[in-house]
Amino acid sequence: AVDARPDTVAGLRFPTGFRWGTATAAYQIEGAATEGGRTESIWDTFSRIPGKVRNGDTGDIAADHLHRMPQDVALMKDLGVTDYRFSVSWPRVQPTGRGPAVEHGLDFYRRLVDELLAAGIRPVATLYHWDLPQELEDAGGWPERDTAQRFADYAGLVARALGDRVATWTTLNEPWCAAFLGYGNGVHAPGRTSDVAALRAAHHLNLAHGSATDVLRSLLPASAEVSLTLNLHALRPLADTPADHDAVRRIDAVANRLFLDPVFHGRLPQDLVQDTAAVTDWSFVRDGDLEVVSAPLDSLGINYYSPSVVSAGASESPSPWAGAEKHVAFTPADGPRTAMDWPVDADGLYELLTRLRDDLPGLPLMVTENGAAYDDYADPSGQVHDPERVAYLDAHLSAVHRAIGDGVDVRGYFLWSLLDNFEWAYGYGKRFGIVHVDFASQRRTPKDSARWYADVIARGGIDRP
């Protein structure tokens, strides 16, 4: 375990070598949706269905990062970040999800990585942040087993192109969202609503992760770091009663252990298998799959925004809970909220990190996303004041620091997000960036929070006056 440097009266100091990063995702920032042979992903299709994305927004232009990448890397250099977590657009690299790579598509990521390295920033590549090639969805998408093999092949194409210069790899971002928001409640692409499709998707995403991990290991230098990012849910019972604890257990099974158990222990959560017996017999999990899924990893990435309070009851259907919503109610937490209406509650991050310390001893952790949306605007002098975001970030970094002090091996923190961007079903209406983007002019303006973060990085922690 890494020891936090002792706190001084000056504030909270993080360990030497702590990775200070920002994070983005391809569909949310790149734009250039039809350039260089890129074809449609499920998000290009989904965002065109009326009513699916607020205001009819799409990622066609987004933050135009594909054309402004050197400027965006320069912004990060100014902030002093040590790491940058980006995702590779599958349909830009392999438009149909099959066959050879499009070199022009790979070239963008080669240039990005070169630019980062020249700026002294470590690239952290995520292979899948939800932009499945539409042709693979047309063939059945994640509920079909073949999609896992397609992903492993694609992982090989990217590893061959970037493996000499990218040291940290993440296979998937938040497979829970891809499976249960994409195929369960249909709030995300491709917008299907079927519990069995969502459970099949979850297993095939796990299988894709394991198969891709094998491919990455075979192609990358032994020093390369292979990881997975999960949006683990911090869950609390409304009351300290057996019924409310059972509600926590049900959601924990489908939101957390459906991924943690196969990946780190090579087994399915048996309570979930029982709870979903009416939905599926799980025969899509074949002999040997769990061995593939549980290929050893170098670290685990955790994305955290807010906790959930649950109790015995019932909630909305279609749901992202594979039937568990018939037994579980969600209670909005008290206290301040972000523009997403998500509660600001940093203790949930501490709770998750200490749980993982206990459940997965010895596994290095990284907070691969954390941040908040607020209704930011540039004042007449062109400044963007976002004190609420600074308060959110301060509280959550403090929670990370407390966890490190309590023996959790947290190696880094990636702020979501560098830029205001396409916030999925919310379109451009929700701003998570520490750099403001005027989507008409594409002008970038660092918000107060960007200066605050640069200061934290420069000092190696948070000062308390």
Residues that bind ligand GBH (CB under 6 A): 25, 28, 173-174, 177, 231, 303, 305, 320, 369, 416, 423, 432
Of 40, 115, 325, 369, which is the active-site residue? 369
Measured from the CB of residue 409, what is the shortest distance to ligand GBH in angstroms? 23
Shortest approach of ligand GBH to residue 197 CB, angstroms?
17
For the bound state, the minimum distance from the C-beta of residue 407 to ligand GBH, rounded and expressed in Å, comes to 27
**Residues forming a β-bridge with 301:** 229, 366
Q: 231 vs 398, which CB is nearer to ligand GBH? A: 231
Q: Is 412 helix (H, G, I), strand (E, B) or coil?
A: strand
Task: Kindly tell me which of 156 and 307 has the beta carbon lying closer to ligand GBH.
Answer: 307
**Shortest spacing between CB 165 and ligand GBH, in angstroms:** 24
Name the residue among 25, 37, 19 with its Cα closest to residue 96.
Answer: 37
In the complex with ligand GBH, the residue whose CB is nearer, 13 or 65, is 65
Task: State which residue, 25 or 344, has the beta carbon closest to ligand GBH.
Answer: 25
**At its nearest, how many Å lie between ligand GBH and the CB of residue 369?**
6
Q: Which is nearer to ligand GBH, 276 or 319 (CB)?
A: 319
* Active site (annotated) includes residue 30: no
Contact 459, 18 (CB under 8 A): no
Residue 174 is among the residues annotated as catalytic for this protein: yes
Within 10 A of 89 (CB to CB), how many other CB atoms are there?
27
Contact (Cβ atoms closer than 8 angstroms) between residue 204 and residue 147: yes
CB-CB contact of 447 with 389 (8 Å)? yes
State which residue, 181 or 462, has the beta carbon closest to ligand GBH.
Answer: 181
Between residues 134 and 231, which has the closer beta carbon with respect to ligand GBH? 231
For 46-88, give the DSSP string: HTTSTTSSGGG--SSSTT-HHHHHHHHHHHHHHHT-SEEEEE-
Q: Distance between CA 77 and CA 299 in Å, rounded?
A: 25
Backbone angles phi, psi at 231, to 5 degrees: -95, 80
**Nearest distance from residue 137's CB to ligand GBH, in Å?**
19
Interior angle at CA 331, CA 328 and CA 335, nearest 5: 160
Q: How far apart are CA 423 and CA 342, in angstroms?
A: 14
Q: Which residues contact 451 (CB under 8 A, 6 or more apart)?
A: none
Helix, strand counts (H, E) of the chain:
16, 15
Q: From the centroid of its chain, how far is CA 313?
A: 29
State in angstroms the smallest separation of the CB of 25 from ligand GBH. Answer: 5
Q: For 304-364, list the strands marked E by DSSP.
A: 308-312, 328-331
Residue with tokens 């509280």: 395
In the structure encoding, which two tokens stand for residue 277, read together? 């017996």
The secondary structure of residue 18, as a DSSP letter, is -
Q: How many residues does the chain have?
A: 465
Strand partners, 330: 310
The pair phi, psi for residue 284, each rounded to 5°, is -75, -10
Catalytic annotation, pick one of 174, 325, 351, 388: 174
Tokens standing for 263?
A: 């990946």
Q: CB nearest ligand GBH: which residue?
A: 231
Question: Which position has the token pair 């995520």?
Answer: 126
Choice between 176 and 452, CB closer to ligand GBH: 176
The minimum distance between CB 304 and ligand GBH, in angstroms, equals: 9
In the complex, the smallest distance separating the C-beta of residue 231 from ligand GBH, rounded to whole angstroms, is 5
B/e letters for 330-362, b = 16+ CB within 10 Å, e = fewer, are beebeeeebbeebbbbbebbbbbbebbbeebee
* β-pairing verdict for 461-463 and 11-13: antiparallel
- The catalytic residue positions are 174, 369
